[in-house]
Amino acid sequence: MTLLTDLTPEELAAFVRALGWPDFRARQINGWLVKGCDFDGMANLPRELIARLEEVAVAQPARVLEHHVSSDDGTEKMLFGFSDGHCVEGVLMRYRHGITLCLSTQVGCRMGCAFCASTLNGRQRNLSAGEMLGMAYTANRLAMPEKVSNIVLMGSGEPLDNYDQVIRFLRLVSSPDSLNIGLRHISLSTCGLSDGIRKLAGEGLPVTLSVSLHAPNDLIRKQLMPVASAFPMEGLLLSCKDYLKKTGRRIVFEYALIRGVNDGPEHARELAGRLRGMQCHVNLIPLNDVPERGLRASGKAEMQRFLGELKDMDVSVTVRRQLGDDIAGACGQLRAQRLKTPLLPDGDGGKA
Ligand code: SAH
């Protein structure tokens, strides 16, 4: 079976031509796909063509298995299911400037961050570009009459560990034949695969690069993120500077404040020192508690102090607003609930 959302418009035209139908039918099909329609909704196509397509192709890969709407802030969380039984999450967040869609790039994740629920059970498989696009089409349909205006690749999975499909997705979703979402309105979040960042810098895709730093040095970072052993901070920051130079896009550093681990004023000062002179922004995130690992969010006072230290040292910094708390809004939580497994299975001390 061919997944139609995996195809570029040219590939779709060739596919439809091979079935014996003219190119304009492919353009009609693409129009329906972008609207999030499945075969049964493609009203202006001949019945014979639909019947033939149903035999050899899939239109929409992602079924909405669960859909929760936060009564606090209108955030919507979806659990998307695929035909092989796997599922991943997506989140729609409403801001004043538009609707942001948070998408997953892999089923599960193999990066093993101590605080992250997505890493539970490791990586099951990569998502294809068409599966990511299908989720975007379906979510965009749910957002109607509004439109998704921004995308963040911050759901489950490590985008740079699924490099080719993520790049293909970025090219497809930003094209006028698709959702036409400007690359500057797309953020790619990585745990810090320096080699992937260098490669991405050469693609000519000016997406915002978010780097999950979460620590001011390798000692603390290694305790939280196994990836820090393979890609130490110095090299990581150099690859970020390279990205900045090639794309002109400032880097966003994500920093989850974890009580007693990385939230002291000395950590803030060390962080500011390392980022000195770099065009970047720091996003402080209140940790979603991981009691199994003894990891808890920092208190309000610690957060304010950390924020103040960074500001005093002229670092551009904000605290990320928490949305969707009442609907298991954090990474991997909904899927973890669905799998009915504890958040993290082994409970060994990932705590620093
Ligand atoms: N693999 C990518 C993208 C997925 S995670 C990455 O690591 O960036 C999206 C963001 O949520 C990352 O910054 C991640 O570190 C953060 N995150 C994961 N678990 C969290 C938790 N329990 N509390 C707060 N942030 C968390």
Distances (CA, A) of 345 to 116, 227, 258, 322: 12, 20, 20, 26
Kindly give the distance from the C-alpha atom of residue 302 to the centroid of ligand 1, in angstroms, as a whole number. Answer: 20
Mean pLDDT throughout 239-267?
Answer: 97
Q: What pLDDT score does 326 carry?
A: 65
CATH 1.10.150.530 boundaries in the chain: 2-58
- Is 131 near ligand 1, meaning CB less than 6 Å away? no
Q: What pLDDT score does 96 carry?
A: 84
Q: What pLDDT score does 95 carry?
A: 86
129 contacts: CB under 8 Å, gap ≥ 6 = 5, 6, 165, 166, 168, 169, 172
Distances (CA, A) of 233 to 13, 109, 155, 158, 184: 46, 21, 23, 18, 26
- Is 115 near ligand 1, meaning CB less than 6 Å away? yes
**94 vs 280, more confident:** 280
Kindly give the distance from the C-alpha atom of residue 16 to the centroid of ligand 1, in angstroms, as a whole number. Answer: 41
Structure tokens given for 313: 């040292």
- Is 285 near ligand 1, meaning CB less than 6 Å away? yes
Asked if residues 33 and 5 have their Cβ atoms less than 8 Å apart, the reply is yes
- Is 60 near ligand 1, meaning CB less than 6 Å away? no
- CA–CA distance, 95 with 73 (Å, rounded to integer): 10
- Mutate which of 254, 281, 284 for ligand 1 pocket (most atoms within 8 A of beta carbon): 254
Q: Is the pLDDT of residue 309 over 80?
A: yes
Tell me the whole-structure pTM to 2 decimals: 0.93
In sequence order, the β-bridge partners of residue 210 are 189, 252
Kindly give the distance from the C-alpha atom of residue 308 to the centroid of ligand 1, in angstroms, as a whole number. Answer: 23
With cut-offs at 50, 70 and 90, classify the pLDDT of residue 73.
Answer: confident
**Which residue numbers are catalytic?**
89, 331
The CATH class for the domain spanning 63-340 reads: alpha beta
| Cα–Cα–Cα angle for 191, 195, 198, rounded to 5 degrees | 100
349 contacts: CB under 8 Å, gap ≥ 6 = 293, 294
Kindly give the distance from the C-alpha atom of residue 43 to the centroid of ligand 1, in angstroms, as a whole number. Answer: 41
Q: Is the pLDDT of residue 207 over 60?
A: yes
- CATH fold of 2-58 reads DNA polymerase; domain 1 (1.10.150)
Mean pLDDT throughout 20-47?
Answer: 97
Query: Within 10 A of 195 (CB to CB), how many other CB atoms are there?
Result: 13
Q: What pLDDT score does 352 carry?
A: 25
Nearest CA to ligand 1 atom 15: 212
Nearest of 117, 73, 115 to residue 254 by alpha carbon? 115
- CA–CA distance, 75 with 120 (Å, rounded to integer): 24
With cut-offs at 50, 70 and 90, classify the pLDDT of residue 315.
Answer: very high
Distances (CA, A) of 216 to 23, 238, 253, 301: 55, 15, 11, 19
Q: Is the peptide bond before 159 cis (omega within 30 degrees of 0)?
A: no
